[in-house]
Chains A and B, each alone.
Chain A
Amino acid sequence: MGHRFVPNSFLLKEMLKELGIDSVDELFRDIPPEFRTDRLNLSPPLSEQETLWHLRRVLSKNRYQGEIPIFLGGGCWFHYVPAHVKYITQRGEFLTAYTPYQSEASQGLLQALFEYQSLVAELIGLEVVNASMYDWATALGEAALMSCRVTGRRRFLVPHFISPERRSVLQNYCEGIGMRVDEINQDPNSGQIDLDHLRNVLSEDVAGVYIENPSYLGFLEEQVDEISDLTHRAGALFIVGVNPISLALFKPPGEYGADMVVGEGQPLGQSPSFGGPSLGIFACRNDMKLVRQMPGRLIGMASTLDGDERAFCMVLQTREQHIRRERATSNVCSNEALCAIAAAAYLASMGPEGLKTVASISMANAHYLMKRLAEIEGLDAPAFHAFHFNEFVLRRVDGGTMRDFNQKLLQENIHGGHILVSEFPELGESELICSTEVHSKRDLDRFVEAAGKIMEGKK
């Protein structure tokens, strides 16, 4: 007995004696004998040092951005995370706190979360942002459910080109209430929403129309005003999914009529970490009809009872599961608070110019790659004739496969894009390529050079 995380192990006898019992087993006497476990089939405790050795050995099989350039995006992005942002989220008072139920003792966390809500509100152009959801996909699922609560309707429209994972999560969130998810066509050449098709499918039972801008495949949607207009005329809510970094350069959804915004906040101060922790952004217009239907925690500005000192606390909790139980707006309890603090510290550090720099380097890198790769015979980019942010679809048109292309890139210590063949077979042999400021010009040139060699058949 005596694990270093368990200070009272060596006081066992003394404490048992105070309780008037002889053995710790007496505290478990209410577990029926037939269900008692003797010992778990797990290894004996490792020391901290041994654990590190083990993890190093196992993890040495991973290849990571920095060791090799990785040109993947698709809802999870590499961006440089400043050291001090990591430091702030490592502060034990933030890191090891629970949800701020005791507001008087949690002002720091509450203010930081209020700042997160405020900074994201500026970025997307809507006034109300919640304190986080699990990730973009679950935020989308919650947005669909909320659109149903607000409108009383049970159909939800999504674009054809959407991440299949996100689509699947949405489907599962809609399953319970029997909400139907239908697709809106997009022009195969430009990726733009087919407005005629939208007009046709926008019947009176549509609760929400969802688009992504930039889309999953990297292009921007130009007809946002028309889509917003059509949606609102049909009495539905207009919901936009975003990569928040792009909003340093592109018009925010709040300026083109979005009622709700969802997105992935991970690029704001978080490394990809194999896809999680992530940060679901969830926002809506400041209309109490909407706000009262929101899922998740909301932090509000408040004041003390005994005077007018400014303070912060969780507000509108009567929407939530711990009070409203099965009639709550959502089941969410724990969220991604620490990621929201990282996002706040990141946005406050970057400021408007810093964020624009991150976004424009990412865009410039991707456009450079797009242009240079398109010059290679047998490759074609971008697959969509539209303006792109920092991701685009590269097609292979020489009869070879993208799988083979990526395998050969890997031999050159380069990880190519995300292969789209099974997701969108109509695009042929294609992959989604992403670049950000984590790639140097040398990385980009090496990629182009290797791609050239592969296509010439020299590899």
Chain B
Amino acid sequence: MTYRQAKYPEPLVFELSQSEREGGFFNPEIEEIPEIPPKLRRERLNLPRLSEPEVVRHYVRLSQMNFGIESGLYPLGSCTMKYNPRACEDFSALPQVRDIHPLQDASTVQGALEILYRLERMLAEIGGVKRVCLQPAAGAHGELLGMLLVRAYFKDIGENRTEVVIPDSAHGTNFASAAMAGFRVVVIPSNSTGRVDVEALRAAVSDRTAAFMLTNPNTLGLFEHEIKEIASILHDAGALLYYDGANLNGIMGKTRPGDMGFDIVHFNLHKTFSTPHGGGGPGAGPVGVSEKLEPYLPVPIIQYDEDKDKYWLDYNRPKSIGKIRSFFGNFAVLVKAYAYLLMMGASGLKEATEVAVLNANYLKEKLRRIPGFEVRYDPEAPCKHEFVLSAEPLKRETGVTARDVAKRLLDFGFHAPTYYFPPIVPEALMIEPTETEPKEELDRFVDAMKQIAEEARRDPETLKRAPFSTSVSRIDEVRASRRPILSWKQFVRLRK
């Protein structure tokens, strides 16, 4: 039996449109429709006209031409693609969640505020931080907030610090977030074991340094065991330590970023806390801080008045940076994470981490023994929740690249690993199985990798044309970017 993804010759909604069909959802009650001044009035609106059954069938077909964690193993490194509990979808669809407005009087949304307050306390406990701002919409948004807090802090204490130090193995958002907040980025190399080169860090840190951004475990899945030394280099120089929480699934419940000395910590709820990624979002990227950064957090802070048993919104924060998005963040996502945390509990979180790390080490040990693949950095050390395999030996031998291997994996009914990241590993395949994969699935993955390595030797040319079982074969992405077609409107104009 082999895997096949669905394939429909599915037109665009505009091509399905029939001139007479209509939605017709509402029956107006008020007869008097105000007359819009001609100057303001719209003349033409080109939206497709479809009946409801056509719309449903269209999007169901499209969904079938897509792959989610519910479809199969999704070992996309750095993204923590774990099972998303269906219960959380039900909970967040309750009318008391969906149909409340962010500007409601606080007395009418006490339930929502209580959830936010409790979620904040839970994240603060997991991260080892004082307070948490739940507003950022994603990890990168949390990074931007973190960097703005760094700015506000140094401005407040009257120090002019212009640089942020980042390891060369870091995620692209770290560099971009620091730059967006106006810092000059200073990149330091990793050492021969794939970790922060402490001497290079020491040399890079000065009285211009505002912060060091680090994820621990790092993007190679290796724990930065010299973290104490790293933290003291930064703190001795008066600078701050920022934690990119994308990799929290490797240590949650085993150690806490705040305890390791991180001053600012972001969490990726759409990774570690199992809220579905939605094909790219919505996520949530709460930011936790130590006491000295608390005054700068965005407003409002949610406070609890024990005497009155009331939650209230505290806007009276003179040093606050203001807002980094509207309202309270992606609330429905926050509700899902809250429910997930309740269902996991303290013991479940620790168990999740332990099994996520076990699964990763299990895969690592099996895969690095397949000729053609290797683990470059510190292969004997246990990895955390993920590891990076290099396909460089295979490429040297057969010409088959990491991308080819990844594309071929799609034919086995797996999603591909992250590839060509982190950039310090040639032909990188970054693999993160998570704790929610059964062993049988991991074993099937190992078998697929073995078969691909064999195919690479036997018939590399065929392999280079993979995938064959997805709804379309390999796409000419280079040409698509050369003269991009970005909408139906543009397509129709060009066709004329």
Residue B278 CB within 8 A of the other chain: yes
Tell me if B178 and A326 are in contact (CB < 8 A).
yes
Identify the stretch in B94-102, B198-206, B391-399 within 8 Å (CB) of chain A at 4 or more residues: B94-102
Tell me if A115 and B12 are in contact (CB < 8 A).
yes
* Alpha-carbon separation in the docked complex, A352 to B42 (Å): 12
**Per-residue contact bits, chain B 169-181, to A (CB 8 Å; 1 contact, 0 not):** 0011101111111
* Alpha-carbon separation in the docked complex, A70 to B465 (Å): 57
Within 8 A of B (CB), among A299-322: 299-306, 309, 311, 313-318, 320-322
Cβ-defined partner of B172 (8 Å) among A24, A314, A325: A325
Identify the stretch in B138-146, B234-242, B286-294, B452-460 within 8 Å (CB) of chain A at 4 or more residues: B138-146
**Per-residue contact bits, chain B 143-163, to A (CB 8 Å; 1 contact, 0 not):** 110011001000000000000
Residue B472 CB within 8 A of the other chain: yes
Interfacial chain A residues near B110, Cβ < 8 Å: 61-62
Cβ-defined partner of B280 (8 Å) among A30, A31, A168, A335: A335
Interfacial chain B residues near A243, Cβ < 8 Å: none
Interfacial chain A residues near B2, Cβ < 8 Å: none
Tell me if A118 and B14 are in contact (CB < 8 A).
yes
* Alpha-carbon separation in the docked complex, A184 to B331 (Å): 33
Interfacial chain B residues near A72, Cβ < 8 Å: 101, 103-104
Tell me if A8 and B343 are in contact (CB < 8 A).
no
* Alpha-carbon separation in the docked complex, A137 to B298 (Å): 14
Interfacial chain B residues near A136, Cβ < 8 Å: 326
Interchain Cβ contacts within 8 Å, total number: 711
* Alpha-carbon separation in the docked complex, A58 to B110 (Å): 8
Q: Smallest CB–CB gap between B158 and chain A, Å?
A: 17
Within 8 A of A (CB), among B478-492: 479-481, 484-491
* Alpha-carbon separation in the docked complex, A394 to B97 (Å): 28
Residue A248 CB within 8 A of the other chain: yes
Q: Smallest CB–CB gap between B481 and chain A, Å?
A: 4
Tell me if A387 and B23 are in contact (CB < 8 A).
no
Tell me if A62 and B112 are in contact (CB < 8 A).
yes
Query: Size class of B's contact patch?
Result: 35 or more
Closest to B61 in A: A108
Residue A415 CB within 8 A of the other chain: yes
Cβ-defined partner of B474 (8 Å) among A12, A111, A305: A305
Residue A234 CB within 8 A of the other chain: no
* Alpha-carbon separation in the docked complex, A178 to B162 (Å): 13
Q: Given the known A-B contacts A5-B436, A45-B345, A87-B56, are A326 and B176 also in contact in the complex, defined by CB atoms under 8 Å? A: yes
Q: Smallest CB–CB gap between A452 and chain B, Å?
A: 19
Closest to B481 in A: A315
Tell me if A103 and B477 are in contact (CB < 8 A).
yes
Identify the stretch in A151-159, A186-194, A361-369 within 8 Å (CB) of chain B at 4 or more residues: A361-369
Tell me if B102 and A272 are in contact (CB < 8 A).
yes
Residue A93 CB within 8 A of the other chain: yes
Tell me if B227 and A35 are in contact (CB < 8 A).
yes
* Alpha-carbon separation in the docked complex, A48 to B143 (Å): 33
Tell me if A119 and B279 are in contact (CB < 8 A).
no
**Per-residue contact bits, chain B 65-100, to A (CB 8 Å; 1 contact, 0 not):** 111111100101001011111010111111111111
Q: Given the known A-B contacts A169-B324, A333-B138, are A35 and B255 also in contact in the complex, defined by CB atoms under 8 Å? A: yes
Identify the stretch in A202-210, A275-283, A373-381 within 8 Å (CB) of chain B at 4 or more residues: A275-283
Tell me if B480 and A301 are in contact (CB < 8 A).
yes
* Alpha-carbon separation in the docked complex, A317 to B29 (Å): 48
Tell me if B67 and A28 are in contact (CB < 8 A).
no
Tell me if B487 and A121 are in contact (CB < 8 A).
yes
Tell me if B182 and A108 are in contact (CB < 8 A).
no
**Per-residue contact bits, chain B 238-256, to A (CB 8 Å; 1 contact, 0 not):** 0000000000000101111
Interfacial chain A residues near B111, Cβ < 8 Å: 58-62
* Alpha-carbon separation in the docked complex, A358 to B222 (Å): 54
Tell me if A102 and B140 are in contact (CB < 8 A).
no
**Per-residue contact bits, chain A 128-155, to B (CB 8 Å; 1 contact, 0 not):** 1101101111100000010000000000
Within 8 A of B (CB), among A80-110: 80, 82, 84, 86-109
Closest to B335 in A: A55
* Alpha-carbon separation in the docked complex, A341 to B137 (Å): 17
Tell me if B66 and A108 are in contact (CB < 8 A).
yes
Tell me if A31 and B251 are in contact (CB < 8 A).
yes
Tell me if A102 and B410 are in contact (CB < 8 A).
yes
**Per-residue contact bits, chain B 100-135, to A (CB 8 Å; 1 contact, 0 not):** 111111011111101100000010011000000000
Tell me if A302 and B480 are in contact (CB < 8 A).
yes
Cβ-defined partner of A93 (8 Å) among B70, B406, B491: B70
Q: Given the known A-B contacts A30-B382, A76-B102, are A334 and B138 also in contact in the complex, defined by CB atoms under 8 Å? A: yes
* Alpha-carbon separation in the docked complex, A285 to B339 (Å): 43
Q: Which 5 A-B pairs have the closest CB atoms?
A: A275-B327, A338-B278, A354-B23, A337-B280, A275-B102
Sample (18) of A-B pairs whose CB atoms are under 8 Å apart: A27-B354, A29-B382, A30-B222, A52-B90, A55-B339, A63-B104, A65-B101, A118-B13, A169-B322, A249-B36, A272-B98, A274-B109, A300-B484, A321-B173, A322-B421, A357-B25, A361-B26, A367-B34
Using A300-B484, A326-B176 as known contacts, list a sample of 13 further A-B pairs with CB atoms less than 8 Å apart, ordered by residue number in A.
A1-B351, A27-B354, A29-B382, A36-B255, A42-B341, A64-B99, A91-B59, A98-B76, A108-B66, A135-B137, A305-B474, A350-B25, A415-B101
